[in-house]
Amino acid sequence: MTWPTLITLTIFSLISNTISQQEYVNNKQLDCDNTYNSTSGNICNSVNSCQSYLTFISNPPYNTLSSISNLLNASPSLISQSNNISTLQTIPTGTILTVPVNCSCSGNNKYYQHNSTYTMKTVGESYFAVANLTYQALTTCQALIAQNPYGIKNLVVGLNITVPLRCACPTKKQRDQGIKYLLTYLVSKDESVSSIADIFGADPQTVIEANKLSPTAFIFYFTPLLVPLKNEPPRNIVKQASPPESPPPPPANPGDSGSSSSKKWVIVGVAVGVVVLLLVVLALFSHCFYKRQRRQPELPPPVGKPFSDSDNKKISDTTSTTQSWSLSSEGIRYAVDSLTQYKFQDLQNATMFFSEENKIKGSVYRASFKGDAAAVKILKGDVSSEINILKRINHANIIRLSGFCVYKGNTYLVYEFAQNNSLDDWLHSENKNKSKSHENLNSTCLSWFQRVQIAHDVADALNYLHNYANPPHVHKNLQSGNILLDGKFRGKVSNFGLARVMENEDNEGFQLTRHVIGTQGYMAPEYIENGLITPKMDVFAFGVVILELLTGREVVGGDKNNGLLRDQLLSSTVNEVLEGENDREKLRGFMDPNLRDEYPLDLAYSMAEIAKRCVARDLNSRPNVSEVFMVLSKIQSSTLDWDPSSRSVSQVSDSR
Ligand SMILES: *[C@@H]1O[C@H](CO)[C@@H](O)[C@H](O)[C@H]1NC(C)=O
Ligand SMILES: *[C@@H]1O[C@H](CO)[C@@H](O)[C@H](O)[C@H]1NC(C)=O
Ligand SMILES: *[C@@H]1O[C@H](CO)[C@@H](O)[C@H](O)[C@H]1NC(C)=O
Ligand SMILES: *[C@@H]1O[C@H](CO)[C@@H](O)[C@H](O)[C@H]1NC(C)=O
Ligand SMILES: *[C@@H]1O[C@H](CO)[C@@H](O)[C@H](O)[C@H]1NC(C)=O
Ligand SMILES: *[C@@H]1O[C@H](CO)[C@@H](O)[C@H](O)[C@H]1NC(C)=O
């Protein structure tokens, strides 16, 4: 796209913004803990009420006119007319219905909505489940939370909640263009603005404007999109042949057509039920664990920041599941005295006498113990602190220490083997003498999905280290060279040589040192300037790692032109990119060219934003790692939605 077109489009979208259409939710409906302008509802910006349409996809138990009209507080006869279907028939699963409803701005509510009432049906049903599963994203968890007096913990079966269904009325500008109705459409997989516009014979440009989308924006499935209509919608919505998600299984019972997607719904329903149950159990479990941890004698009274109750409450359901998961697996796998003490001869045999061929890099050698691969690292002097830390830690994303050997003043540490070496080998391989084992590094580069996964893995590890390890630790030396990648490119944090116990959790492990050591480019300003050691120094370093993942650049500008001036720090560049106008275009230019354009810009933007907060100069402005982890979890799950080809990868990792 040439500059003039871009500029025109930008100006164009600025103009249409001022004419104020509605803002697209942009997948923010997933983040139930935070409210965004777009998630509360469509803003009243025109007439007080109008007729509008919702779309609803028939799926049991909502597959008859009466059940659907009941759910949506709509008129069965109008639905019947609008879709040319008879009142009594069961509507085949997967049929897209248009539902005429009155849309209004009333009371002191400043959003266009159509109210319905829903009676909570199952134990553990959450606002999110109601919004996403039952109402198919016609409402958001944020709007439900805002418009109901019940807290998320007080939802019980039989409770009636108000459901504000999103709708909107045409603005003057739209009416002038001949637009009569706005239809709230549920985006499904593989759809785009133009394919959706096609279904309704609408002009894609009007759809873009109606949702305040930028011309390059990305739309997410399972989000509502407004489609401006000049006439009533077609009576029979047929999408252009879109490939089915899975080959349709034989009908479960004859007469119920479209059982393929009906199954999907059932599976989703069951899965949600199971997840909710697990969540409750695990929440209880983690609560006990957490209590126990707090009662350790050497710890101060419970007012500490990382463990404060208010923080704990803020953790969303999804995060607490993940956290509880790692906790429970910790509980099972935890074994303090699991380390093997190796004989030096065994190490010699396993590494072919520390041969050159077995050298990975530095003083790290590949070893093979009865066919099992391992890495052996040779360290001088006393490394008992690293051993003492690692022997107590067992987390899938922290490199596992399996044993050690002390011989003639050296310590040999035996670790699990990470087949794909370190992250920095993959990100910066062109700029360095490649290590021998990776001659073919240049031929491949980490995909967007792999990068997001690695960031998520590292956040998981740091979250564990700061908040759940006993005692909690600061890593102090996080950098891409210390993030190892296993055969499936899952990230594993290594090198705990500088790690420190957080001694005083009240002030987040506030400690001072005169002995400032670390890696340039990753060290937080307060550590360099005052020797201050807090968990926020890991957050800073992690922000730099995220920037490396996004940009592929070195953390400090050198002689080679990799987009940084000499001695410029990568951490100092992100503010400039995300500030001011054209931030998205600037971000595109900032991204790793090796990714080509194969990444969703919106998610990259979110990731750059969190990185920016992590590298804030003031440590109090940096988020806790638990928050970073939560954000990355969301980015990761959206990435799964974005890239169909990454599904297989996710299945592999899920079955881990
Ligand atoms: C959100 O809405 C408020 C008031 O309604 C407005 O002041 C603010 O600018 C909006 N923010 C964005 C990002 O549109
Ligand atoms: C409505 O459906 C009937 C059959 O069920 C069909 O004969 C009729 O043409 C349809 N009308 C429209 C307007 O599609
Ligand atoms: C909207 O309300 C009017 C009366 O206020 C009613 O006549 C009309 O049928 C309603 N439309 C829908 C779609 O419910
Ligand atoms: C819908 O519900 C909201 C409260 O959630 C209320 O303010 C508004 O007046 C209701 N709208 C109608 C049309 O009843
Ligand atoms: C929302 O519901 C759809 C349909 O069941 C499902 O595919 C999607 O994963 C759900 N979204 C989330 C974030 O759970
Ligand atoms: C919820 O609504 C239904 C029907 O509108 C009513 O029968 C029931 O009593 C209500 N339940 C509560 C707890 O108000």
Averaged pLDDT, 94-102: 94
Q: Is the pLDDT of residue 197 over 60?
A: yes
Q: How far apart are CA 524 and CA 537, in angstroms?
A: 5
The residue whose C-alpha atom lies closest to atom 6 belonging to ligand 4 is 107
Identify the residues whose C-beta falls under 6 Å from ligand 4. 104, 106-107, 109, 115, 147, 162, 164
Q: What is the 3-state composition of the chain as percent helix, strand, coil, each rounded to the nearest 5?
A: 45, 15, 40
**The pLDDT of residue 125:** 87
Considering only residues 347 and 221, tell me which one the structure prediction assigns the higher pLDDT.
Answer: 347
Secondary structure E strands in 500-648: 500-501, 511-512, 532-533
Relative to the CA of 119, which ligand 6 atom is closest? Answer: 1
Averaged pLDDT, 140-149: 92
The residue whose C-alpha atom lies closest to atom 3 belonging to ligand 4 is 109
How confident is residue 563, by pLDDT bands cut at 50, 70 and 90?
low
State the residue for tokens 């069951």. Answer: 270
Q: Calculate the average pLDDT of the chain.
A: 77
How confident is residue 337, by pLDDT bands cut at 50, 70 and 90?
low
% of the chain residues with pLDDT over 70: 74
pLDDT digits (tens, 9 = 90+) for 505-561: 444 445 666 677 778 899 999 988 888 889 999 999 999 999 999 999 989 877 665
**The pLDDT of residue 645:** 56
Averaged pLDDT, 8-17: 39
pLDDT digits (tens, 9 = 90+) for 622-652: 999 999 999 999 999 988 887 545 444 433 3
**The pLDDT of residue 222:** 86
Instruction: Provide long-range contacts, Cβ within 8 A and 24+ apart, for 565-569.
Output: 569/521
The residue whose C-alpha atom lies closest to atom 2 belonging to ligand 6 is 160
Q: Is the pLDDT of residue 317 over 80?
A: no
**The pLDDT of residue 295:** 32
Q: Which amino acid is at 70?
A: N
Residues contacting residue 3 through CB under 8 Å, at least 6 positions apart: none
Count CA within 13 A, CB hemisphere, residue 360.
Answer: 22
| Residue 37 alpha carbon to ligand 1 centre in Å | 6
Considering only residues 76 and 279, tell me which one the structure prediction assigns the higher pLDDT.
Answer: 76
Q: How far apart are CA 497 and CA 398, in angstroms?
A: 13
| Residue 164 alpha carbon to ligand 4 centre in Å | 8
**The pLDDT of residue 528:** 87
Q: How far apart are CA 597 and CA 179, in angstroms?
A: 35
Beta bridge partners of 374: 367, 416
Q: What is the 3-state secondary structure (H, E, C) of 26-95?
A: CCHHHCCCCCCHHHHCEECCCCCEEEEEEEEECECCECEHHHHHHHHCCCHHHHHHHHCCCCCCECCCCC
Q: How far apart are CA 531 and CA 514, in angstroms?
A: 6
| Residue 236 alpha carbon to ligand 2 centre in Å | 9
The DSSP secondary structure of 165-229, one letter per residue, reads: EE-----HHHHHTT--EEEEEE--TT--HHHHHHHHT--HHHHHHHTT--TT----TTSEEEEEE
Q: Is the pLDDT of residue 115 over 70?
A: yes
For the ranges 18-27, 129-138, 580-589, the one whose mean pLDDT is highest: 129-138
How confident is residue 253, by pLDDT bands cut at 50, 70 and 90?
very low
* 251: preceding bond cis by omega (within 30 degrees): no
* Residue 360: closest CA among 338, 373, 376: 376
Relative to the CA of 86, which ligand 2 atom is closest? Answer: 5
| Residue 115 alpha carbon to ligand 4 centre in Å | 6
Averaged pLDDT, 162-171: 95
Averaged pLDDT, 368-394: 84
- Candidate of 119, 121, 148, 159 to mutate for ligand 6, largest count of ligand atoms within 8 Å of Cβ: 119
**The pLDDT of residue 643:** 59
How confident is residue 328, by pLDDT bands cut at 50, 70 and 90?
very low
Q: Is the pLDDT of residue 303 over 70?
A: no
Considering only residues 108 and 298, tell me which one the structure prediction assigns the higher pLDDT.
Answer: 108
Q: State the maximum Cα–Cα separation within the chain, in Å, rounded to a whole number.
A: 88
Considering only residues 424 and 258, tell me which one the structure prediction assigns the higher pLDDT.
Answer: 424
- Length of the chain equals 656
**The pLDDT of residue 560:** 62
Q: Is the pLDDT of residue 95 over 70?
A: yes
| Residue 113 alpha carbon to ligand 4 centre in Å | 8
Residues contacting residue 497 through CB under 8 Å, at least 6 positions apart: 379, 383, 385, 386, 477
The residue whose C-alpha atom lies closest to atom 10 belonging to ligand 3 is 102
For the ranges 33-47, 268-282, 283-297, 554-568, the one whose mean pLDDT is highest: 33-47
**The pLDDT of residue 338:** 65
Considering only residues 417 and 361, tell me which one the structure prediction assigns the higher pLDDT.
Answer: 417
Q: How far apart are CA 455 and CA 639, in angstroms?
A: 13
Q: Is the pLDDT of residue 254 over 80?
A: no
Q: Is the pLDDT of residue 568 over 70?
A: yes
**The pLDDT of residue 34:** 81
State the residue for tokens 């005052």. Answer: 530
Can you say how many angstroms the Cα of residue 471 is from the centroid of all Cα atoms in its chain?
Answer: 28
pLDDT digits (tens, 9 = 90+) for 584-630: 999 999 999 988 888 999 999 999 999 999 999 999 999 999 999 99
The DSSP secondary structure of 205-219, one letter per residue, reads: HHHHHHTT--TT---
The DSSP secondary structure of 136-155, one letter per residue, reads: TTSS-HHHHHHH-S--GGG-
**The pLDDT of residue 609:** 95
How confident is residue 11, by pLDDT bands cut at 50, 70 and 90?
very low
Q: What ligand has the least distance to the C-alpha of 38? A: 1
Q: Is the pLDDT of residue 273 over 80?
A: no
**The pLDDT of residue 375:** 94
The residue whose C-alpha atom lies closest to atom 13 belonging to ligand 6 is 159
